[in-house]
């Protein structure tokens, strides 16, 4: 689905009704906006969270990325 929207005087955008309906958006829903290169990406917060969880789903249960990062930082600090 494609739509063209116009930026209002106060920087406001109106999401067309057919897009809101297709995404199941309701008044008061919170959306996450981020830049991806020269593009604006607007998504429901729960979709952004689900995407992040999916990125980590392939990690083994016993692996801690936090512990790995801390170990890397400590090693880097001892080298300096």
Tens of pLDDT, residues 19-63: 999 989 999 998 989 899 999 988 888 887 788 888 878 888 888
The pTM (predicted TM-score) of the whole model is 0.55
Q: Please state, in angstroms and rounded to a whole number, the distance separating the CA atoms of residues 65 and 69.
A: 6
DSSP, residue by residue, 28-61: T--EEEEEETTEEEEEEHHHHHHHHHHHHTTS-T
69 against 58, higher pLDDT: 69
φ, ψ dihedrals at 39, nearest 5°: -105, 150
What single-letter DSSP state applies at residue 9?
Answer: T
Residues 41, 35 contacting (CB under 8 angstroms): yes
């Amino acid at each position: 689905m494609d739509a063209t929207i116009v930026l209002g005087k106060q920087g406001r955008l109106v999401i067309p009704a057919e897009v809101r309906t297709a995404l199941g958006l309701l008044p008061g829903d919170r959306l996450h906006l981020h830049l991806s290169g020269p593009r604006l990406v607007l998504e429901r917060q729960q979709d952004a969270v689900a995407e992040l969880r999916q990125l980590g789903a392939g990690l083994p249960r016993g692996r801690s990325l936090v512990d790995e990062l801390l170990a890397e930082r400590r090693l880097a600090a001892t080298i300096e």
